[in-house]
Amino acid sequence: MSLGIRINEERCNLCGFCVDSCPVSLFTFDEGETRIVIGDLADCLVCRNCEDHCRRRCLVVDFPEWPHRSTVEAWLK
């Protein structure tokens, strides 16, 4: 299993939409609110809500076993 969430910290502007969009509170700000901390990936539902809401497109949910919604929806039609 190869689930991973990567944030390009050089691009991240700390808008916090990943924090607000996650149904299992996987993301938190660190103590000084200078970066996003990713919690235990065991909780991740791979709903990709964080990816969809990332304003700077700098967050990637990497899980090749399950494609993105757009791919599956095209395939369902």
What is the contact mask toward other proteins in residues 1 to 30, using x (rule: CB under 8 A)?
Answer: x-x-----------xxx-xxxxxxx---x-
Contact, 41 vs 4, CB < 8 A?
A: yes
Both tokens of residue 24?
Answer: 């299992």
- Cα-based distances in Å from 17 to 40, 64, 73: 18, 23, 24
Asked whether 16 and 47 are in contact (CB, 8 A), the reply is no
Of 12, 47, 58, 60, the residue at the interface with other proteins (CB under 8 A) is 47
Binding other proteins (rule: CB under 8 A), the pick from 12, 38, 53, 58 is 53
Q: What is the binding site for other proteins (CB under 8 A)? A: 1, 3, 15-17, 19-25, 29, 33, 42-47, 49, 52-53, 63, 65-66, 69, 72-73, 76
